[in-house]
Amino acid sequence: MGIDRVGVVGAGQMGNGIAHVLALAGYEVLLNDISDDALKAATKVIEKNLDRQVSREKISEGDKAAALERIGTTLTLTDLGQTDLVIEAATERETVKQAIFEDLLPHLKPETILTSNTSSISITRLASRTDRPEKFMGFHFMNPVPVMQLVELIRGIATDQPTFEACLGVVDRLGKTAATAEDFPAFIVNRILMPMINEAIYTLYEGVGSVKSIDMAMKLGANHPMGPLELADFIGLDTCLAIMNVLHDGLADTKYRPCPLLTKYVEAGWLGRKSQRGFYDYRQDPPVPTR
């Protein structure tokens, strides 16, 4: 399966990062979003991140110019129909993802591979709603995409070997490393990471430590580069809650019950960095804890 043109659905934090690394690796990329403002913002972010790589001498000015030339944008989802691979990177809601694939299906080439960047939702279930479950995979990048080296590849129950090998070839061409995960809730990274973050929130909720002391304890006591509450803000508290709900619902184990404080922050619209408030208030410099 030759892959030259890749469609990316969603121009947010993950989508623009995926478009960035694909274009830098030589793929023709078509980036789609329902918002023109989101597409314009994504283009600016990609250019800014490429400039950072140039300044650090990781790429040349020529590499940057060529990568930007390879990225096209569109508000029309069906324009992605003629690509060889589609990577869906929309919001982490199953109904949204299903609707995207349903709209795309009538316009796809027979050989086009469909993938989702979902961090937790069943690949088998998403694939079953399409006309090509054997050509459907989980393609889970880590955030920030240009920096993080890992990609989780998740096969659904029907995914065939040529599809897996084609996606593995893309990961290799990107210069990243693939970890193969089975199709269980949250896969590998988030199955381990999210309960740790949730436990850190419980530690705050129960008054064991403050935001500052919890994050400092894990940075200095466990040598983590970022504290768990700071990391939750970076990921997005709504995303953390969605993944914990998938784990709780999918595995039916009370150890995955989302902390009520996490739910409360999301209900308040305090989603972390992207909303300027979460466990830290980012309207101040430096950010200050909100509890």
Task: Report the alpha-carbon distance of residue 35 to residue 281 in Å, rounded.
Answer: 27
By annotation, the residues acting in catalysis are 119, 140, 152, 190
Give the confidence band of 26 by pLDDT, cuts at 50, 70, 90: very high
- Position 281 pLDDT exceeds 90: yes
DSSP 189-203: HHHHHHHHHHHHHHH
Contacts of 150 (CB under 8 A, 6+ apart): 142, 176, 177, 178, 179, 189
- Position 13 pLDDT exceeds 70: yes
| pLDDT tens digits, one per residue of 230-243 | 999 999 999 999 99
Are residues 9 and 112 in contact, defined by beta-carbon separation less than 8 angstroms? no
What per-residue confidence (pLDDT) applies to 88?
A: 98
Residue where the block lists tokens 């000015």:
61
Q: State how beta strands 150-155 and 5-9 pair.
A: unpaired
| pLDDT tens digits, one per residue of 243-271 | 999 999 999 999 999 999 999 999 999 99
The two structure tokens encoding residue 172: 């290799």
Q: What does the pLDDT average to over 93-106?
A: 96
Give the confidence band of 30 by pLDDT, cuts at 50, 70, 90: very high
State the pTM of this model. 0.90
List residues bridging with 7 in a β-sheet.
30, 86
Torsion sign, CA atoms 212, 214, 220, 224:
negative
Task: Report the alpha-carbon distance of residue 182 to residue 193 in Å, rounded.
Answer: 17
Q: What does the pLDDT average to over 13-32?
A: 97
Cis before 162? omega within 30: no
Q: Average per-residue pLDDT in the chain? A: 96
- Please give the share of the chain, as a percent, with pLDDT higher than 90: 97
| pLDDT tens digits, one per residue of 36-75 | 999 999 999 999 999 999 999 999 999 999 999 999 999 9
What per-residue confidence (pLDDT) applies to 1?
A: 66
What secondary structure letter does DSSP report for 257? P
